[in-house]
Amino acid sequence: MPLHTADALVLRTYKLAEADRIVVFLTRDRGKKRGVAPAARRPRSRFSGALEPLTEVRVAYFEKEQRELVSLNYAEPVRSPLGTPNPEALAYSAYFAELIDAVAADADADERLYRLGTATLEAITEGGPVLPLARYFECWLLRLQGVYPPDVTCAECGAALAAGEGAFLAMDGHGFVCRRCHGAQGTDDRYLSARALAFVREARRVGPQDAAGLGASDDVLRELEVAHRALLGVHLDRPLKSTRVVQALGRPSR
């Protein structure tokens, strides 16, 4: 069996037998893998501190042809969400990891998705506000999946949306529709205000560590959360376990 070494992000783990763990991890160059971490649940395991969701690790693993599970030899932590000074960020790191796991394809390298994960982890460890970071992460994840509209223009009439104009977000993610073409008088979970669209525009120009500097108010963050949740629900077609945890943390303070 050949030995592979790789940079990786831990996405999730679950128990196996009496002391082992199955580890799902995203490698930079070989996509998502699943492997057995022997004796990982023992107190003095060599994997201690390396298997938290969204931990960046340097891994070595043996891979046998035609076997789904690889055998982890070691996992050395490089950066961990446990180092964040913000307790809420730990819950969100599991949320980010679960979203990456939901969209990442087995054994299919996606450098952009990997970089989004590591850059988000870096922002978490710097200790900034986590809610703008969450909305930023969702924007980019959906964009990389081809779900979020590539341009802030009306998909019906083709007009660029003015700076002070909101729009409706198509749930298939294939475009924004201006109010004139939509023909609606009220708002719903598909509507993004001008301030929310400004966040979407600017999020495409900055890194995750700058998400808090985009100036989104609590109302705008809530607006984006509702729209993204609806869009993710359609795209993933299944609920996320970590969503309940982050929702339990409450709404932004006013």
Give me the DSSP letters along 161-216: PPTT--EEEPTTSS-EE-HHHH--SS--TTEE-HHHHHHHHHHTTS-GGGGGGG--
Q: Which pLDDT does position 249 carry in this prediction? A: 67
Element (H, E) at 24: strand 20-27
Q: Which residues contact 185 (CB under 8 A, 6 or more apart)?
A: none
Average pLDDT on 182-190 reads 61
What digits encode the pLDDT tens for the residues 5-63?
999 999 999 999 899 999 999 999 999 999 999 999 998 899 988 999 999 999 999 99
Residue 57 CB burial class (10 angstroms; 0-12, 13-18, ≥19): buried
Domains delineated in the chain: 1-128 (2.40.50.140), 146-239 (1.20.1440.120)
Q: Which pLDDT does position 155 carry in this prediction? A: 86
Mean pLDDT (the chain, rounded):
88
What digits encode the pLDDT tens for the residues 81-129?
988 888 888 889 999 999 999 999 998 899 999 999 999 999 999 988 9
Average pLDDT on 223-248 reads 84
With bands split at pLDDT 50, 70 and 90, how would you rate the model's confidence at 252? very low
What is the rounded CA–CA span in Å between residue 10 and residue 124? 15
**pLDDT higher than 60, residue 169:** yes
With bands split at pLDDT 50, 70 and 90, how would you rate the model's confidence at 188? low
**pLDDT higher than 60, residue 251:** no
Q: How far is CA 21 from the centre of its chain?
A: 23
